[in-house]
């Protein structure tokens, strides 16, 4: 089974531009998570979905960030407009139902640089 | 709210030496506990996990961890470190009644000297 697939792996953009990060979770996983990793703040949970429904978006920094999950096999994280402080590695992760106790499977991340 | 503390930001050991990475958690109920490893430029990979039962859990790559409720700790150990173990290690706590939401510690970066 393929793991969590993220694209793009690297993105360099200029301040003010729109950025869209994409994620394909592992088939059969009911939960999808977006994390952001920076040197200063470590791994932060931005938002997570259960059965395509956003459950907790309290970690989303501000209105410039939005996430969607139109179906069980695809999610996007959008930043509009982007700012230099958004530069980070963004990870998508998925997991099975709660009975598995929360084991997350991570993608390789999307490294975003905003100039 | 639950939290995870990893007191050591950086640790350096010699190849072949033993290793212990510390993790303390704060959680009201019985936690789900995890250790993940991240190699440079990669995503996180699960090393081991504790849900219940035997407090000493075995993981991949020769790692083990011990859950100590009295100390709110879940330290990761390896008896003999290999150069390929150089990476960043994250401890995480999960909600037992929630939606598989994990809270991660700040991480410990391990360097291995030959």
- At A6-15, the pLDDT tens digits run 999 999 999 9
Chain A partners of B99 at a C-beta cutoff of 8 Å? 31, 48, 50, 55-56, 98
A48 pLDDT exceeds 80? yes
CA distance A46 to A44: 6
Contact between A45 and B44 using a beta-carbon 8 Å cutoff: no
> What is the structure's pLDDT at A103?
77
In the predicted structure, residue B89 carries a pLDDT above the cut 90: yes
| Among chain A residues, CA nearest to B107 | A42
Q: Cis check for the bond before B49: say yes or no (omega within 30 of 0).
A: no
Identify the weakest region by mean pLDDT among A28-32, A89-93, B59-63, B99-103: B99-103
The helix/strand/coil state of B71 is helix
* Mean pLDDT computed over A74-92: 97
Nearest to A31 among B41, B42, B99 (CB): B99
Hey, is the C-beta of A95 within 8 angstroms of any chain B C-beta? Answer: yes
Predicted pLDDT at B41: 83
Q: Which residue of B lies nearest to A105 if distances are taken between CA atoms?
A: B45
- For residue A34, the chain B residues in CB contact (below 8 A) are none
- The whole-chain average pLDDT of chain B stands at 90
Lowest mean pLDDT among A69-83, A100-114, B8-22, B86-100: B86-100
Residue of B nearest to A53 (CA): B99
Q: Binning pLDDT at 50, 70 and 90, where does residue A16 land?
A: very high
Q: What burial class does residue B42 get, using C-beta atoms within 10 Å of its C-beta: 0-12 exposed, 13-18 middle, 19+ buried?
A: middle
Q: pLDDT band for position B30 (50/70/90)? A: confident
Looking up tokens 């990476």 gives B87
Question: Looking at residue B103, what is its pLDDT?
Answer: 86
CB contact under 8 Å between B95 and A100, yes or no, is no
Is A101's CB within 8 Å of B103's CB? no
Question: Averaged over B71-95, what is the pLDDT?
Answer: 94
CB contact under 8 A, B43 and A43: no
Does the distance separating the beta carbons of A108 and B46 come in below 8 Å? Answer: no
Mean predicted confidence (pLDDT) in B92-101: 69
| pLDDT, position B101 | 74
* Residue B84 per-residue DSSP state: G
Residues A4, B83, A42, B60, Cα dihedral to 10°: 50
Q: Is the pLDDT of residue B55 over 70?
A: yes
Q: How far does the CA of residue B39 sit from the closest CA of chain A (Å)?
A: 10
Cβ contact A106–B44 (<8 Å): yes
How many A-B residue pairs are in contact by the CB < 8 A criterion? 63
Q: What is the pLDDT of residue A41?
A: 87
Structure confidence at residue A102 (pLDDT): 61
- Interface check for A43 against chain B (CB to CB < 8 A): the answer is yes
Find the DSSP H helices in B1-114.
Answer: none
The answer to whether residue A5 neighbours chain B at the CB level (below 8 Å) is no
Closest CA to B31 of B97, B106, B94, B108: B94
């Amino acid at each position: 089974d393929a793991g969590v697939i993220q694209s793009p792996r690297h993105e360099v953009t200029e301040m003010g531009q729109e950025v869209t990060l994409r994620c394909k979770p592992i088939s059969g996983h009911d939960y999808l998570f977006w994390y952001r990793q920076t040197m200063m703040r470590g791994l932060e949970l931005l938002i997570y979905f259960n059965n395509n429904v956003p459950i907790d978006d309290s970690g989303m920094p501000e209105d410039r960030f939005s996430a969607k999950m139109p179906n069980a096999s695809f999610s996007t994280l959008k930043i509009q407009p982007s700012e230099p402080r958004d530069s980070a590695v963004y990870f998508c992760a998925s997991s099975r139902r709660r009975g598995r106790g929360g084991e997350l499977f991570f993608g390789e991340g999307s490294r975003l640089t905003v100039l | 709210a639950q939290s995870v503390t990893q007191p050591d930001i950086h640790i350096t050991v010699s190849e072949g030496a033993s290793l212990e990475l510390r993790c303390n958690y704060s959680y009201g109920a019985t936690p789900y506990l995890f250790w993940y490893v991240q190699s440079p430029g990669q995503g996180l990979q699960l090393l081991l996990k504790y849900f219940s039962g035997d407090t000493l859990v075995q993981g991949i790559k020769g790692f083990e961890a011990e859950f100590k409720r009295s100390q709110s700790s879940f330290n990761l150990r390896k008896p003999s470190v290999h150069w390929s173990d150089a990476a960043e290690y994250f401890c995480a706590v999960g909600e037992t009644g929630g939606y598989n939401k994990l809270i991660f510690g700040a991480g410990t970066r391990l360097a291995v000297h030959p």
